[in-house]
């Protein structure tokens, strides 16, 4: 072929059929057709026109499918390893949920999180692949890509300035999903709004508070998150006793009553550890505040706190331990009486 191309006349004929920079395929076709310029031009146009476009489309379709599949697998491994790490962390602090929670069983929250992350990342990669394929096809059709790329850049800048809030919300929502800051069913405090998460998208989080109010919070506006329902929770109970109470007896009664409640059939599955009586929390104006805590499953702490207060009230009444109420001293003066012989009376509010 090289000897064929070294002849000036044949080289000029080859350039007429394949152009000034003939490709290897065009040279082979020109050689096989015996120097037929018309056939060579048609075949070269097909190879660099419709056929090449079809090849680009096929490669783009295969690449997008493979990218989505690999992203789904990677995200699934990431979410599973994240859950395993959380379980190991709980085990290090003395909480073993291996029997109650199995990573092999389908977890709706974990699956929803994995699906959301995979859809976002997979869609981003697919869009990038198809945009690249579109640019290549436009170039093969003979259009000048310079003005097209410049126009797309200007449009991207304009869209970026006009949709800064939307982009900010979506990026923040993606990090919420990746870091698993909260999920559907968690009770969270997002600043001015707090409640149970009913819906979580890339742009907005929907909460329902205890009084039924529905809050729609853009993810980009969230500056801090307080999640009271992740991994485990704590039921914290403060109860006041009178100053003349025996604190040691009070402590024993607190512990025994709480243990009785926690070991009952209604609460044994929700209590993760034995209750702890921390002791005196405060010396108030009307009584002494005793504090105790119980580690529970996420979301069950409020119901357990209410049940413990009810049980402790009954136990204290039966043991004769007074739960104090505010005491005030009221001085009663006569209309024109400014002497020191005023009467006083102590009453309870």
The helix/strand/coil state of 242 is coil
Distance of CA 25 to the CA centre of its chain: 53
Instruction: Give the model's pLDDT for residue 154.
Output: 78
Rounded average pLDDT per 10-residue block, the chain, 349 residues: 46 52 56 58 59 81 89 76 53 50 54 74 85 81 72 74 80 84 87 87 88 91 87 90 91 94 91 92 90 91 93 92 76 62 49
**Residues 194-232: b if buried by 16+ CB within 10 A, e if exposed:** bbbbeebebbbbbbeeeeeeebebbbbbbeebebbbbeb
Determine the CATH number of domain 180-227. 2.30.30.60
pTM over 0.95: no
In this structure, the number of other CB atoms found within 10 A of the CB of residue 78 comes to 15
Determine the CATH number of domain 51-162. 1.10.287
Q: CATH topology for 233-319?
A: Alpha-Beta Plaits (3.30.70)
CA angle 322–325–330, rounded 5-degree value: 130
| Token couple for 49 | 């026109």
**Residues 137-165: b if buried by 16+ CB within 10 A, e if exposed:** beeeeeeeeeeeeeeeeeeeeeeeeeeee
Domain ranges in the chain are 2-48, 51-162, 180-227, 233-319
């Amino acid at each position: 072929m090289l000897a064929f191309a070294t002849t000036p006349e044949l080289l000029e004929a080859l350039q007429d059929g394949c152009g000034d920079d003939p490709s290897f395929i065009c040279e082979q076709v020109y050689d096989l057709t015996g120097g037929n310029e018309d056939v060579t031009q048609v075949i070269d146009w097909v190879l660099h026109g419709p056929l090449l476009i079809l090849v680009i489309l096929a490669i783009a379709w295969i690449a997008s499918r493979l990218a989505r599949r690999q992203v789904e697998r990677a995200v699934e491994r990431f979410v599973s390893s994240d859950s395993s790490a959380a379980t190991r962390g709980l085990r290090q602090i003395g909480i073993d949920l291996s029997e109650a929670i199995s990573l092999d069983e389908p977890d709706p929250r974990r699956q929803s999180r994995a699906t959301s992350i995979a859809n976002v990342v997979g869609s981003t990669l697919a869009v990038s692949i198809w945009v690249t394929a579109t640019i290549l096809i436009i170039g093969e059709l003979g259009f000048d890509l310079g003005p097209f790329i410049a126009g797309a850049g200007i449009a991207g800048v304009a869209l970026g300035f006009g949709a800064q809030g939307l982009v900010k919300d979506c990026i923040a929502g993606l990090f919420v999903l990746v870091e698993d800051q909260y999920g559907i069913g968690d009770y969270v405090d997002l600043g001015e709004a707090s409640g149970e998460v009913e819906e979580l998208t890339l742009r907005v989080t929907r909460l329902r508070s205890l009084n039924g109010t529905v809050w729609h919070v853009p993810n980009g506006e969230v500056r801090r998150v307080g999640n009271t329902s992740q991994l485990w929770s704590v039921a914290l109970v403060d109860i006041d006793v009178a100053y003349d109470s025996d604190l040691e007896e009070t402590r024993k009664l607190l512990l025994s009553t709480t243990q009785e409640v926690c070991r009952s059939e209604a609460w044994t599955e929700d209590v993760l550890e034995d209750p702890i009586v921390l002791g005196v929390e405060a010396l108030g104006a009307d009584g002494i505040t005793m504090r105790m805590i119980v580690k529970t499953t996420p979301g069950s702490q409020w119901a357990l706190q209410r049940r413990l207060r009810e049980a402790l009230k009954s136990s204290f009444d039966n043991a004769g331990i007074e739960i104090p109420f505010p005491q005030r001293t009221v001085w009663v003066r006569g209309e024109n009486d400014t002497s020191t012989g005023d009467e006083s009376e102590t009453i309870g509010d």
